[in-house]
C-alpha cells in the first residue's frame, strides 16, 4: 500500500504540470484564469486560434519536422560508421577518438553561436534549414555515437568472423550482417536524436529571423502580446500541447526502447 | 594491423571527426580568436580611423570584472548547485520508488518519461503560466507572489521548473543502475540483520554509484549551459535569472562578437574545470569499457 502511494506521488509529480497545460488549453478564452481541475465547458477555441490567421503554426511544425528529420538522418549516417569502428574494430588512438567525441558533447551551445552566426552570415545561410541542421550535429552526433557504440558492443563478437569466413568483405560484413542486427539500436538512437533536435531552441532562435522559417519551439515562445496583460495564455498552452503530443505518443509507444537507449551509455 | 583494415577504419571514423571539427573545433578556435578582436570603427595608435576588425588583445577579458558578467556567473553557479543537488536527491528517491513498484510499472515509467519529453522551451511556457500572478501556483499557496518578475522568486521559479523536468531523468538512469544489483546482496544484508537505512547507505548507494555519477555529470553539463528555460519563462535580459549562456547569446545578437566570444571562452573553461574536478573526485571512468575490454582481451 505504501509502495503504491509512493508510486502514485511520483506519477502525480510528473504529470500534474503537464495536465494543467492540457486543461488550460481546453478552456474558453474567458475562462482561462479559472482554477477548476477540468475545463467546463471544454472548448477547442485555443486550438483553432493556434492555426488561424497570421501565425501559420502548421508551417512552424513542418520546419521542425524537416530540421529534426534532416539532423537525425545525417547524424545517424555518420554516427553508425564511427560507432561501429569504436565498438568493434581495434586500432590505435581509439580512446583518443572516443575522448574527442565525448569531449565535444560537453560543449556549451552558446559558444558555438558566435562564430557560426558570423560564418553563416558571410555564407548567406541565415534563414535556411542547413543553418539549423549543421550546428545541431554538435549535440546530436556525440549523442548518436555514444548510444550506438553501447549498442554495437552488446552484439556477440563472432559475428564478423563468421561473415568473413563466409566470404564477406569488411564492408560487406558491416552492411549485410551487423547493420540488420543493429537495427533496433539504430532506431532507438534515431528517436533520441530526433527528440534532441525537436527540442532545440537556441540555434533555431539565432539563425532564423524570418517567421516562416522558424521552428515550432521558437514560434511558440514568441506567441504573445506586447505585455504580460494581453499574453494569449490559452493559445500558448494549446500550441505547447501540439508541439509535445508527437513526443508523448513516441514515448508511450517506444518507452522500453527509449529507456534502454538513455541508460545504455550510463551502464557499463 | 593489415593495410586494408587501417583504411577501412579511417573511412569509418573520418566523416564524424570532420563534422565535429566543423561544428565544434572550428567555432572554438574562431571564438578564441574573436575574443581578442573588436568590430567596427576605432582609432589606431596614430589617431587614424580604422574600419573592420581591430586586435584588442585581452581587453574583452578585462570586462570580466563587470557587474553583469559576475551576476551571470553567480546565477549559473547557483542554478547548477541547487538544481543538480535537488535533482539527485529526488531522482534517487524516485528510482527507489520505481524499483519497488510491484504492479503498474509501465504506467510509472511512461509517466516519468513525460517531463523528459516536454521540450524545455514548452516547459518554460507551461511554468510561466503556472507561476502567473493569478495563476494556479499562487491559488494553491494562497499568496500573491509575482514569480515571473525580477527577484529571488524568479530564481526559485526557474529552479522548480528545471527540477521538475530533469529529476525524473536522473531517476531513470539510477533505476537502471539499481536493476543490475543482484538480489543476493540484499538477502545477505538481511541475514546479517542490516537495517533499511544501513542497506541503503552501505549497499545500494555504493553499487549504484557508477550510474549515478554519469547521470549527475550529464546534469551538471546541462545546468552549466542553461539557456532556454529562464529565457522563455522569465524573459530576455532579466538579470536575476541571466545565465552565462544567456549573456553570451545576448552579446552575440547585439553584434558584440568580441565580448560574446570572451564570455563564451570563460564558460567553456568553467565547464572544463568543473568536469575535471568532478571526474577526479568521484572517479567517473567514462572510458571504462574500452579499458576493461582491453584487459580481458
- Cell 594491423 belongs to which residue? B1
What residues in A contact B13, CB-CB < 8 Å? 81-82, 85-86, 97
Q: What are the tens digits of pLDDT across the range A89-144? A: 888 888 889 888 888 888 888 988 889 988 999 999 999 999 999 999 999 999 99
The share of chain A scoring above pLDDT 90, in percent, equals: 38
d(CA B222, CA A107): 10
User: Closest to A17 (Cβ–Cβ): which among B127, B228, B289?
Assistant: B127
Q: Give the number of domains in chain B.
A: 1
Alpha-carbon distance B102 to B115, whole Å?
23
Facing residue for B12 by CB, picked from A85, A113, A252: A85
Task: Classify A124 in phi/psi space as left (phi over 0), alpha (psi -120 to 50) or beta.
Answer: left
Residue A162 three-state SS = helix
ipTM: 0.89
**Tell me, what's the pLDDT at A44?**
85
Do the domain assignments include residue A122?
Answer: yes
- Mutation target for A interface from B8, B16, B130: give the one with most A CBs within 10 A: B16
| pLDDT over threshold 80, residue B255 | yes
Using CB atoms, which residue from B100, B125, B245 is nearest to A240?
B125
pLDDT computed for residue B295 by the predictor: 41
Mean pLDDT for chain B?
85
- Residue B118 belongs to a domain: yes
The CATH number covering residue B207 comes to 1.10.3720.10
Higher pLDDT, B135 or A192: A192
pLDDT at B45: 64
How many angstroms separate the Cα of B215 from the Cα of each of A190, B221, B239?
Answer: 21, 10, 29
Q: Assign B246 a pLDDT band (cuts: 50, 70, 90).
A: very high
Q: How many domains does chain A have?
A: 1
Residue B2 lies in a domain: no
Whole-model pTM? 0.89
The answer to whether residue A110 is domain-embedded is: yes
Q: Is residue B100 part of a domain?
A: yes
pLDDT at A211 over 90: no
Average pLDDT on B103-125 reads 88
Q: For position A225, what pLDDT does the model report?
A: 45
Of the candidate ranges A35-39, A59-63, A93-97, the one whose mean pLDDT is the lowest:
A35-39
User: Furthest-apart CA pair in chain B: how many Å?
Assistant: 86
Per the structure block, which three cell numbers stand in for A251? 514515448
Domain that holds residue A80: 56-222
- Please check whether residue A143 lies inside any domain of the structure: yes
State phi, psi for A162 to the nearest 5 degrees.
-60, -45
A7 occurs within a structural domain: no
Distance from the Cα of A85 to chain B's closest Cα (Å) equals 6
Contacts of A215 (CB under 8 A, 6+ apart): A60, A63, A64, A67, A132, A200, A204, A208
B276 is a domain residue: yes
Q: How far apart are CA A83 and CA A25, in angstroms?
A: 43
Which pLDDT score, from 0 to 100, does residue B292 have? 44
Taking an 8 Å cut-off on Cβ atoms, the answer to whether A266 and B176 are in contact is yes
A-proximal residues of B, 244-283, CB under 8 Å: 244-246, 248-249, 252-253, 257, 260-261, 264-265, 267-268, 271-272, 275
Least Cα distance to A206 among A147, A132, A136, A149 occurs for A132
pLDDT at B47 over 80: no
- Domain range for B217 is 27-296
Q: Which of B122, B139, B235 to mutate to test the interface with A (most CBs of A within 10 A)?
A: B122
Residue B9 lies in a domain: no
Would B11 be classed as within a structural domain? no
Which CATH number belongs to the domain containing residue A95 in this structure? 1.10.3720.10
Amino acid at each position: 500500500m505504501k509502495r503504491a502511494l509512493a508510486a502514485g506521488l511520483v506519477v502525480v509529480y510528473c504529470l500534474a504540470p503537464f495536465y494543467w497545460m492540457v486543461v488550460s488549453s481546453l478552456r474558453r478564452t474567458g475562462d482561462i484564469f479559472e482554477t477548476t481541475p477540468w475545463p467546463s465547458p471544454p472548448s477547442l477555441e485555443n486550438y483553432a486560434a493556434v492555426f488561424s490567421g497570421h501565425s501559420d503554426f502548421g508551417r512552424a511544425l513542418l520546419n521542425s519536422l524537416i530540421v529534426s528529420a534532416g539532423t537525425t538522418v545525417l547524424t545517424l549516417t555518420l554516427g553508425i560508421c564511427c560507432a561501429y569502428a569504436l565498438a568493434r574494430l581495434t586500432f590505435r588512438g581509439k580512446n583518443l577518438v572516443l575522448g574527442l567525441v565525448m569531449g565535444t558533447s560537453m560543449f556549451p551551445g552558446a559558444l558555438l553561436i558566435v562564430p557560426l552566426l558570423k560564418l553563416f552570415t558571410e555564407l548567406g545561410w541565415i534563414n535556411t534549414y542547413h543553418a539549423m541542421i549543421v550546428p545541431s550535429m554538435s549535440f546530436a552526433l556525440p549523442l548518436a555515437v555514444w548510444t550506438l557504440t553501447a549498442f554495437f558492443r552488446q552484439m556477440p563478437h563472432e559475428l564478423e568472423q563468421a561473415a568473413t569466413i563466409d566470404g564477406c568483405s569488411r564492408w560487406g560484413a558491416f552492411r549485410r550482417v551487423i547493420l540488420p542486427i543493429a537495427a533496433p539500436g539504430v532506431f532507438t538512437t534515431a528517436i533520441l536524436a530526433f527528440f534532441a533536435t525537436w527540442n532545440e531552441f537556441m540555434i533555431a532562435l539565432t539563425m532564423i529571423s524570418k517567421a516562416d522559417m522558424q521552428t515550432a519551439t521558437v514560434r511558440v515562445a514568441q506567441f504573445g502580446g506586447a505585455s504580460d496583460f494581453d499574453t494569449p495564455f490559452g493559445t500558448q498552452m494549446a500550441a505547447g500541447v501540439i508541439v509535445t503530443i508527437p513526443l508523448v505518443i513516441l514515448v508511450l509507444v517506444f518507452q522500453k526502447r527509449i529507456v534502454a537507449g538513455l541508460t545504455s551509455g550510463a551502464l557499463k | 594491423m593489415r593495410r586494408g583494415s587501417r583504411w577501412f577504419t579511417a573511412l569509418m571514423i573520418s566523416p564524424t571527426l570532420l563534422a565535429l571539427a566543423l561544428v565544434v573545433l572550428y567555432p572554438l578556435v574562431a571564438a578564441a580568436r574573436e575574443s581578442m578582436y573588436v568590430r567596427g570603427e576605432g582609432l589606431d595608435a596614430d589617431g587614424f580611423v580604422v574600419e573592420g576588425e581591430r586586435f584588442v588583445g585581452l581587453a574583452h577579458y578585462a570586462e570580466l570584472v563587470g557587474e553583469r558578467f559576475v551576476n551571470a556567473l553567480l546565477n549559473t553557479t547557483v542554478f547548477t548547485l541547487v538544481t543538480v543537488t535537488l535533482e539527485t536527491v529526488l531522482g534517487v528517491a524516485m528510482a527507489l520508488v520505481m524499483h519497488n513498484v510491484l504492479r503498474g510499472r509501465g504506467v510509472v515509467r511512461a509517466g516519468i518519461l513525460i517531463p523528459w519529453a516536454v521540450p524545455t522551451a514548452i516547459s518554460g511556457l507551461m511554468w510561466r503560466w503556472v507561476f502567473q500572478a493569478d495563476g494556479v501556483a499562487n491559488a494553491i499557496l494562497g499568496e500573491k507572489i509575482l514569480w515571473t518578475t525580477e527577484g529571488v522568486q524568479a530564481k526559485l521559479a526557474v529552479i522548480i521548473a528545471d527540477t521538475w523536468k530533469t529529476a525524473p531523468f536522473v531517476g531513470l538512469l539510477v533505476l537502471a543502475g539499481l536493476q543490475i544489483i543482484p538480489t543476493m546482496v540484499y538477502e545477505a544484508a538481511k541475514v546479517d540483520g542490516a537495517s533499511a537505512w544501513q542497506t541503503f547507505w552501505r549497499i545500494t548507494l555504493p553499487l549504484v554509484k557508477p550510474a549515478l555519477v554519469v547521470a549527475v555529470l550529464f546534469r551538471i553539463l546541462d545546468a552549466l549551459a542553461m539557456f532556454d528555460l529562464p529565457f522563455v519563462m522569465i524573459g530576455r535580459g532579466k538579470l536575476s535569472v541571466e545565465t552565462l549562456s544567456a549573456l553570451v547569446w545576448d552579446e552575440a545578437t547585439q553584434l558584440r562578437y568580441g565580448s560574446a566570444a570572451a564570455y563564451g571562452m570563460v564558460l567553456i573553461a568553467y565547464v572544463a574545470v568543473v568536469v575535471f574536478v568532478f571526474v577526479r573526485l568521484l572517479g567517473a571512468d567514462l572510458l571504462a569499457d574500452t579499458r576493461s575490454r582491453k584487459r580481458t582481451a
